Amino acid sequence: MSEMTFDRMINQMTPAIYESLKQAVALRKWPDGRRLSVEQTELCLEAVIRYEVENNVPEESRVGYLEQRTCGASNSGAGVSPEMAGLGRDVSKG
């Protein structure tokens, strides 16, 4: 596919097509159940990423987004001290 055709496809992509391509990449299958080839997966993923950038999709809604957390952050949900997790003792002294 030529770059000009790809650009045109991105510019004409509807939100419904975007969601369909995003689902196809996630499942590695077309809506009719046929498996995507490696090349199809790569092309669909590139189209999804380009659509997200060009349409200002919020970062946290983009494909592949991972929330960054720091070790021991209060919002991590762990709520376990290092001692309780067994990190504060020397296990070699049995």
pLDDT at 34: 96
Per residue in 59-82, pLDDT tens? 877 787 777 776 655 555 456 666
Q: Where are the domains of the chain?
A: 3-63
Our measurement of the distance from residue 94's CA atom to the centroid of its chain's CA atoms, rounded to an integer in Å, reads 44
Percent helix, percent strand, percent coil in the chain, to nearest 5: 50, 0, 45
- Does residue 38 have a pLDDT over 90? yes
Q: Which 3 state secondary structure label does DSSP give 29?
A: strand
